[in-house]
Structure 1
Amino acid sequence: MKYWFLLFFGVLFLTSCEGDDDVCVTGEATPRMKVKFKTLDGRVATLDSLYVDVNYGAGNVSVIKAKEVDSAMIPLRVDNNLFTEISLRTSNKGNASKIKVTYTLKSEYVSPACGFKRLYENVGGTLETPNPVIKIEKNQDQIIDENKTHFYFIF
């Protein structure tokens, strides 16, 4: 009789676990900023190499080192700061363009496993050091997903 009791609670324990609540794997995290590259005459460009560093508040962190790239997904700050500073180079030891992305923040609840995600509204960008990037062109006013291009960096 006591074995039925243990079997009942064992089955109950195994069926009560749901994988959906354990891990956030549905792609509903805070969106990254998507950038593409153009030449001065407006043609979409592919860069031979790209190095991107982001200042998250404790100095620059390397987030992208890529070759033959036509776009980049750059993660922005998720703390309460209203800007993110980005440093971008086309060679490992070359000149770096400094770009300051400003925004207002909004939080959206996703699920118990994922918690909250940050959304960026009223997005703007300022080119603070123009070499190798010559200028920037805003394409979207908000960053709520990663499907659309948010900025074009002109080389």
Structure 2
Amino acid sequence: MRKPFIIIPILLLFVALTSCEKDDICPGDSSTTARLYINFYSSTNPENPKNVFKFRVQGIGNDQVLADYNAVTSNKVYLPLKTTENQTQFRLHNDYAVNNNGTPEDTSDDYITGNEDIITISYNTKLEYVSKACGYKTVFENVTITVEDDGDKWINYILSTTDNEPISDENEAHFNLFH
């Protein structure tokens, strides 16, 4: 008669343990909000990738310099887009340098040399559910890029490689920049 009293709690404990879900952890390889991926090419020979020397990227509106792109040599760039707005702007510098005006101790008279172009990236955003642990990611749709013409552009033109498909991952380039 005591066996049913022991079996029932054990059975209830077994059912409770086997029906629990494991902790839902977002894996590192999970899809997240993609950055805009741009490759650089020669405008005179469009089939050839072309480096930008002393390349620097600075956000406009937050004035943040992207750490991976501060006076480096590169033939591509990954740009984070604002997820709460429909537009992001960046200053792209070619041959970036700071001239200290012969007074290295006095930074008040320093000025930037090189060629700066300002790009404006316009888009629509859409939230896409990833999973319970990962939540949502932002997908960018109808992405366009314009280059401000200051009379001294180093960027000749930018072409989409995705035929205006939504940007949801950064495994393949979304745009090609020709200079």
Give the TM-score taking structure 1 as reference length. 0.77
Letter in structure 2 aligned against 1:111: S
5+ residue gaps, structure 1 = 1-7
5+ residue gaps, structure 2 = 1-12, 98-111
Letter in structure 2 aligned against 1:33: L
Task: Give, in whole Å, the separation in 1 of the partners of 2:172 and 2:25.
Answer: 29
Is it true that 1:67 corresponds to 2:72 in the alignment? yes
**Further displaced range: 126-135 or 103-112:** 126-135
Letter in structure 1 aligned against 2:144: G
**Further displaced range: 143-152 or 58-67:** 58-67
Could you say what secondary structure the match of 2:154 adopts?
Answer: coil
Paired residues for 1:59-138 under 5 Å:
59-63=62-66, 64-65=69-70, 67-79=72-84, 81-90=85-94, 91-92=96-97, 93=112, 94-129=114-149, 131-138=153-160
Say whether the 8 Å CA contact 1:89–1:97 is kept in structure 2.
Answer: yes
| Equivalent residue number for residue 25 of structure 1 | 28
1:44 to 41, 49, 70: 49
Give the TM-score taking structure 2 as reference length. 0.67
Say whether the 8 Å CA contact 1:99–1:129 is kept in structure 2.
Answer: no
Cα deviation code 1:48-71 (max 9, x no counterpart)? 23211223xx42211232623121
Task: Give, in whole Å, the separation in 1 of the partners of 2:161 and 2:22.
Answer: 44
Q: Structure 1 segments of 4 or more deviating over 2 A? A: 15-18, 21-24, 64-68, 92-95, 129-132
Cα deviation code 1:94-113 (max 9, x no counterpart)? 23111111111111011222
Number of residues of Structure 1 aligned to a counterpart in Structure 2: 138
**Further displaced range: 81-90 or 131-140:** 131-140
Q: RMSD of the alignment, in Å? A: 2.3
Say whether the 8 Å CA contact 1:96–1:129 is kept in structure 2.
Answer: no
Say whether the 8 Å CA contact 2:88–2:121 is kept in structure 1.
Answer: yes
Could you say what secondary structure the match of 2:115 adopts?
Answer: coil
Is it true that 1:139 corresponds to 2:139 in the alignment? no
Say whether the 8 Å CA contact 2:56–2:72 is kept in structure 1.
Answer: no
Cα deviation code 1:111-139 (max 9, x no counterpart)? 22221100011111111145222222222
| Equivalent residue number for residue 5 of structure 1 | none
Between the two proteins, what is the percent identity of the paired residues? 26
